[in-house]
């Protein structure tokens, strides 16, 4: 019975595709979102790999892919749908803002609750999927019985805290995206 329901739901989703809301139903956010300028969308698509590389090069968060949980996303779009084109255009803006923001890290943004809140805020932009803050792992040291020495632990914590400050700065700078 569950398999039959799943198959029917999958068929309905496939038929719906990027077409939007059914007749008589309220429009989704994707249906009310403006169609992006074709030239801007094309340029953003061509720059998307470079933009992901630039965002990852900041070494602040685990950047996975274009957001799949964005409003209006449907998994049955076999080419670039309107919401994906808009997200790629916004990705270009996100990268520019993030590159500027990391130059001024926010102090005291290192506690786990703040980090989690900031990662959630980046994901809530519905531009990219962020896995979390990149945390520095202390290196093992032969002088400390092949375990991290206290200095190694403190150095790793300092790098992680600096990244957390950069993350907070990015979140503060991207609130209007």
Asked whether residue 111 is domain-assigned, the answer is yes
Tell me whether residue 1 is in a domain.
no
Residue 29 belongs to some domain of the structure: no
Query: What mean pLDDT is predicted for residues 12-28?
Result: 40
Asked whether residue 25 is domain-assigned, the answer is: no
Q: Confidence class of residue 18 from pLDDT cuts 50, 70 and 90?
A: very low
Looking at the DSSP bridge assignments, the partners of residue 66 are 128
Q: What is the pLDDT of residues 44-100, one digit of tens each?
A: 888 999 999 999 999 999 999 988 776 655 566 665 677 788 888 899 999 999 999
What is the C-alpha separation between 73 and 91, in angstroms, rounded?
A: 16
Structural domain count of the chain: 1
Pick the more confident residue, 46 or 33.
Answer: 46
Domain that holds residue 43: 36-173
Mean pLDDT of the chain: 82
- Cβ proximity of 159 and 136 under 8 Å: yes
Residue 77: its pLDDT value, please?
Answer: 61
Cα–Cα dist 69/58, whole Å:
24
Contact 94, 121 (CB under 8 A): no
E strands, 39-166, in order: 61-66, 128-133
Q: Is 168 among the domain residues?
A: yes
Domain annotation covers residue 10: no
Tell me if 23 is assigned to some domain. no
Burial letters 17-44, b for 16+ CB under 10 A, else e? ebeeeeeeeeeeebeebeebeeeebeeb
Residue with the bigger pLDDT between 70 and 153: it is 153
* Encoded tokens for 171: 């979140």
Residue 101: helix, strand or coil by DSSP?
helix
Of residues 151 and 19, more confidently modeled: 151
11 in a domain, yes or no? no
pLDDT digits (tens, 9 = 90+) for 138-147: 999 999 999 9
């Amino acid at each position: 019975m569950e398999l039959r329901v799943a198959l029917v739901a999958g068929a309905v989703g496939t038929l719906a595709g990027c077409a939007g809301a059914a007749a008589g139903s309220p429009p989704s956010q994707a249906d009310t979102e403006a169609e992006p300028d074709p030239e801007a969308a094309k340029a953003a698509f061509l720059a998307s790999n470079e933009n992901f590389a630039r965002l990852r090069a900041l070494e602040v968060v685990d950047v996975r892919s274009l957001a799949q949980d964005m409003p209006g996303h449907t998994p049955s779009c076999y080419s670039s749908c309107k919401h994906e084109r808009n997200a790629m255009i916004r990705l270009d803006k996100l990268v520019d803002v993030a590159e500027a923001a990391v130059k001024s890290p926010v102090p005291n943004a290192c506690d786990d609750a703040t980090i989690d809140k900031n990662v959630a805020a980046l994901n809530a932009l519905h531009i990219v999927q962020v896995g979390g803050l990149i945390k520095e792992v202390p290196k093992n040291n032969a002088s400390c019985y092949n375990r991290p020495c206290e200095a190694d632990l403190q150095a790793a914590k300092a790098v992680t805290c600096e990244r957390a400050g950069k993350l907070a700065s990015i979140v503060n700078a991207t609130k209007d995206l």
